């Protein structure tokens, strides 16, 4: 009797949702029944987030017989690999022929399982690995937001120093506008970060970041890896799969702040009807700048004494490394309290123009200049509103309380304008200035207003006023419209203000 001859053939079959490579065992002789070995493989989850694991389950059968105790090995082919390789993971089938192997891929990967006896090979099954994306949007001062998007992914993927395009749509507008572009940075353990800061108006906004990652098909589903197309940024709604590092879309809401847009508009309408040349600037409680003709420059008059105060205190702390001594307070006090010009000249001689320029730079002033003497400094309303908004951070800790007290307790005869209208509801620190010019009377005032956790600043600069009282009336009119219902009654007889000692 001849020994049986084994015939081997392969065919593709679909079992439990996966295609297996089947082996046929048939004894010699015509009409013999084939015995089929099948190995299936199905992932528990076909899409996971980076750092998570998935389980591949399957069954080994020979015809209708479940094969227990068979050795099963795992092979993988990560995205970018040209050939299959053994992972080292192995298991044996249970009594019912089933098996399970846990995997933790770092990128999109194909897996297949293999049995040696009986020989069988499962069809490749894909597991998609999404990068672990996180995002934060923070409201900053001066009407800005900071957006930080981070992604954890396969460290072998170099996504560093790649260009990111940032788009913004404000209010109900469906149209995204390109704001700027930046570059990604990549740290240890496959952490890629993209971040940017930009200005937003109060209310609803949408941020869209577009990043075309190299080897972008290595992470996430293919549908989430489209190339940046400007036509897509006109859509009112974006697909959820764009919440990836390639496409990050987030809706935010920026507080409007105080004073609101209506109050600023009312103040703008008022000041444009006044005689002379006028500007005002407001940095509201959310740090947003607005106003009227905010970059027009004026001669400073005594308003610059607030800058002299801060510059001198910074010199004591950061350069001289000392507290008050000698005549420091005896000079600073009259310079602010009664706007003494001789005291201001003494402080200016100690500070110099250079330190005033340094202070202007730290405060974010764009229009500041000085030459000859302190009273001839020039600045804009936006400069002074920014300076007062940053007052606390510009002052050294040991002198902050003293400087704030000085600016809040100026002689009553000079407490016209902003404090006259805003107190007592608001805590007001301020400085005013006045002088004659070739076109009339110049009257300025700057202030920082605080209540509870709300802080805002304003600056009103005027020139060519018919009289001192008229300029004060302009400042008080602007203030009343910004403060709103909490404003004190505005005196119509502003000419009656006595300026007391000191100079403008």
pLDDT digits (tens, 9 = 90+) for 113-146: 999 999 999 999 999 998 888 888 998 866 789 9
Q: Return the higher-pLDDT residue of 190 and 86.
A: 86
Q: How far apart are CA 141 and CA 455, in angstroms?
A: 11
Q: Which of 361, 392, 395, 394 is closest to 379 using CA atoms?
A: 361
501: confidence class by pLDDT, cuts 50, 70, 90 = low
User: Could you give the angle at which helices 381-389 and 341-363 cross, rounded to 10 degrees?
Assistant: 80
Q: Is 69 helix (H, G, I), strand (E, B) or coil?
A: coil
- pLDDT tens digit sequence for 202-252: 888 988 888 877 777 888 886 655 556 555 555 555 544 444 455 677 788
- pLDDT tens digit sequence for 361-395: 999 999 999 988 999 999 999 999 999 999 999 99
69: confidence class by pLDDT, cuts 50, 70, 90 = very high
Please check whether residue 490 is in contact with residue 477, taking contact to mean a CB–CB distance below 8 angstroms.
yes
What's the mean pLDDT in 261-266? 94
Dihedral Cα 315, 320, 322, 327, nearest 10 deg: -70
Please check whether residue 440 is in contact with residue 459, taking contact to mean a CB–CB distance below 8 angstroms.
no
Q: How far apart are CA 332 and CA 326, in angstroms?
A: 12
Residue 13 confidence (pLDDT)? 34
Residue 16 confidence (pLDDT)? 35
Please check whether residue 232 is in contact with residue 169, taking contact to mean a CB–CB distance below 8 angstroms.
no
Residue 25 confidence (pLDDT)? 44
Residue 464 confidence (pLDDT)? 97
Query: Which part of the chain has CATH 2.60.40.10?
Result: 10-127
- Helix or strand (DSSP H, E) at 158: none
- pLDDT tens digit sequence for 386-400: 999 999 999 999 999
φ, ψ for residue 66, nearest 5 deg: -85, 130
Please check whether residue 110 is in contact with residue 81, taking contact to mean a CB–CB distance below 8 angstroms.
no
Residue 275 confidence (pLDDT)? 95
Output the six-digit token pair for 434. Answer: 């006045």
Q: How far apart are CA 341 and CA 198, in angstroms?
A: 41
Q: How far apart are CA 438 and CA 394, in angstroms?
A: 34
Lowest mean pLDDT across 5-9, 48-52, 378-382:
5-9
Q: Give domain 261-496's CATH architecture.
A: 3-Layer(aba) Sandwich (3.40)
pTM to 2 decimal places: 0.65
Query: Which part of the chain has CATH 3.40.710.10?
Result: 261-496
Residue 24 confidence (pLDDT)? 44
CATH class of 10-127: mainly beta
- pLDDT tens digit sequence for 161-192: 988 888 888 888 878 888 888 999 988 888 99
The correct CATH number of 131-254 out of 3.40.50, 1.25.40, 1.10.3210, 2.60.40 is 2.60.40
């Amino acid at each position: 009797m001849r020994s049986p001859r084994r015939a081997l053939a392969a065919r593709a079959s679909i079992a439990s949702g996966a295609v297996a490579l089947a082996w046929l065992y048939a004894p010699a002789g015509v009409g013999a029944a084939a015995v089929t070995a099948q190995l299936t493989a199905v992932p528990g989850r076909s899409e996971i987030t980076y750092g998570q694991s998935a389980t591949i389950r399957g069954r080994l059968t020979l015809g209708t017989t479940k094969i227990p105790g068979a050795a099963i090995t795992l092979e993988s082919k990560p995205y970018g690999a040209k050939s299959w390789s053994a992972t080292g993971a192995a298991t044996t089938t249970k009594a019912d022929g089933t098996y399970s192997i846990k995997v933790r891929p770092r990128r999109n990967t194909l897996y297949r399982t293999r049995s040696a006896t009986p020989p069988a090979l499962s069809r490749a099954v894909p597991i998609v690995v999404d990068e672990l994306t996180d995002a934060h949007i923070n409201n900053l001062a001066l009407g800005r937001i900071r957006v930080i998007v981070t992604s954890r992914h396969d460290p072998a993927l170099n996504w560093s120093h790649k260009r990111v395009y940032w788009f913004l749509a404000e209010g109900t507008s469906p149209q995204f506008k390109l704001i700027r572009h930046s570059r990604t940075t990549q740290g240890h353990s496959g952490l890629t970060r993209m971040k940017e800061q930009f200005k937003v108006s109060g209310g609803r906004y949408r941020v869209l970041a577009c990043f075309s990652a190299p080897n972008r098909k290595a992470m996430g589903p293919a549908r989430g890896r489209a190339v940046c197309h400007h036509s897509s940024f006109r859509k009112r709604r974006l697909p959820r799969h764009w919440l990836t590092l390639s496409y990050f879309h987030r809706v935010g809401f920026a507080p409007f702040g105080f004073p609101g847009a209506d109050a600023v508009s009312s103040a703008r309408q008022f000041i444009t009807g006044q005689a002379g040349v006028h500007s005002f600037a407001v940095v509201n409680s959310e740090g947003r700048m607005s106003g009227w003709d905010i970059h027009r420059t004026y001669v400073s008059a005594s308003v610059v004494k607030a800058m002299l105060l801060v510059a001198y205190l910074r010199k004591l702390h950061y350069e001289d490394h000392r507290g008050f001594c000698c005549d420091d307070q005896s000079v600073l006090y009259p310079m602010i309290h009664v706007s003494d010009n001789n005291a201001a000249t003494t402080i200016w001689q100690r500070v110099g123009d250079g330190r005033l320029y340094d202070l202007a730079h730290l405060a974010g002033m764009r229009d500041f200049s000085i030459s000859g003497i302190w009273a001839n400094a020039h600045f804009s309303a936006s400069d002074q509103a920014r300076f007062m908004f940053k007052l606390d951070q510009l002052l050294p800790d040991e002198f902050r309380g003293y400087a704030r007290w000085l600016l809040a307790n100026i002689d009553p005869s000079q407490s016209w304008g902003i404090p006259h209208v805003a107190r007592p509801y608001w805590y007001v620190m301020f400085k005013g200035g006045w002088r004659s010019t070739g076109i009339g009377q110049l009257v300025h005032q700057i202030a920082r207003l605080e209540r509870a956790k709300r802080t805002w600043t304003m600056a009103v600069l005027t020139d060519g006023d018919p009289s001192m009282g008229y300029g004060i009336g302009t400042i008080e009119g602007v203030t009343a419209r910004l403060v709103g219902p909490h404003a004190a009654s505005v005196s119509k007889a502003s000419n009656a203000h006595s300026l007391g000692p000191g100079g403008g």
